[in-house]
Amino acid sequence: MSKIKPKIKRALSRIGMLDFVYSLTDQYKRFILKFRKAKIEDQDVGGEYDKIKNYHRPEKIAVNKSNPVISEIEINNNCNLDCVMCNTSLSKRPDFNMKLDLFENILIKMKKLGNRDTALHTIGEPLMNKDLFKYFELLRKYKIKVFLSTNAIPLNEKNIRKLLDWTDVIYTLRFSIDGSTKDVYEKIRVNGDFDILIRNLETFKRINNGKIHVSMNSIVSTDTKEQLAHHLSFYSKYVPMENMILSLVNGLSPDNSYFFKHSTFKNHIVRQVPCGRLEDGINVLNDGSVTACCRDYQGDLVYGNIGTQEVSEVLEGEKLKQLIAEHNDRKIPKGSLCNTCYEVDKRIVKVFKLFQISLVAMYKDNWDIDAMQSKFNDFFTLFQNSMPPKEEFLKILKPN
């Protein structure tokens, strides 16, 4: 999951603009969206493309010790769905809700660090937590905002009305939804019910009336690639099209067979080494353990405990130093979770986001599903084997 980079966050915080940015954007993605839309108006998409094409994965990574960010707090690790790309049922960590006193301890440490926001999930569904609004009370007490992600199946009218009492705490409610037809949705979102999903979205739209800012994230795989234009159009009834992000499916699950079989860019699959998640932020599990990965199903990458240690002590731990060294030296042990973690080349990921953002900015007011799907198809064909010349990329963005 993408967040505002610590360097940007610190700069915004110093000038008193962080809350303002959050009120207008959906974390880092929407901040960049605003920037890129301006670029589109300046006809400088090509310049952005050149930057992406010249991007190289950093040779070395380092822990952010000067301004650490507690980016995710797992208040529960149970989920009502078992999506094919997540396989949350594979997690064998104990299933329980984070203790409220531990949660408050974390918030106190966040305030000392100057952190103003966090997310309340890793592999769990926050709305499954019966004490969710007790956590919100503590968040309000310490004036910390949350990015709340949900698959929207538990988002019934009762929960919607409760959420509306916490608009000062929730700066973005993100829907995680894959597939715009019943068959595709229920194939990917195992145990999900498309009819319940749409009913809940309709209810939310009617009751929310713009009070809570919403966004949506959806995976792109061979299961969904043929309906992306329809997907954006269909869900724009509930979420502004510019607030939707289409993300190329990755291999973070311990069972990455779905990723290898259904990735749309098999020729661009690479190992995530060194992994930026080791330096992006602190991920806290439901028992207070700090892990290097936001999708640590078994607690294999735990390097400290924020409930019993100060943040500085956690970040100076030998286990974290060892993980950093393994990544920087490209010597990942065979039994490590990191050894089987793959993703699509970040250049392809970044240019696909640029493509989607550009397409929406240029055509959202006159969205022809067939014409837009044709452009998505052209993109998949063009980028199958390599990064093409800038002119070819710009050509598929132009009106037919």
Instruction: Please check whether residue 173 is in contact with residue 130, taking contact to mean a CB–CB distance below 8 angstroms.
Output: no
Query: Both tokens of residue 333?
Result: 């042990």
What pLDDT does residue 4 have?
A: 56
Residue ranges of the chain with pLDDT lower than 70?
1-43
Give the start-end residues of each E strand in 151-205.
170-176
Per-residue pLDDT, 200: 98
Report the pLDDT value the prediction gives residue 36, as an integer from 0 to 100. Answer: 45
CA distance 285 to 299: 8
Tens-place pLDDT, residues 19-69: 444 444 444 444 444 444 444 544 589 999 999 999 999 999 999 899 999
pLDDT on residue 44: 82
Give one DSSP letter per residue of 307-361, joined into a string.
TTS-HHHHHT-HHHHHHHHHHHTT---TTSGGGG-EEE-HHHHHHHHHHHHHHHH
pLDDT, residue 400, reads 81
Q: What is the C-alpha radius of gyration for the chain, rounded to an integer number of angstroms?
A: 20
